[in-house]
Amino acid sequence: MDRIDCGELKGVYASTAVIQEIIFWFYNRQLLCELTKAVNVLTHLRNVEWIAITPEICLTASLLISEYNTSPFDAYHLATAISRDKTILSTEHIYDKIKGIKRIEPSDFAKDL
Residue 46: the pLDDT is: 87
Q: Is the dihedral of CA 51, 111, 100, 68 positive or negative?
A: negative
Residue 79: the pLDDT is: 97
Residue 48 CB neighbours (<10 A): 17
Residue 5: the pLDDT is: 77
pLDDT in tens, the chain (113 residues): 778 877 888 888 999 999 999 999 999 999 999 999 999 999 998 889 999 999 999 999 999 999 999 999 999 999 999 999 999 999 999 999 999 999 999 898 888 77
CA distance 102 to 71: 18
Residue 21 CB neighbours (<10 A): 17
Q: Name the pTM for this structure.
A: 0.85
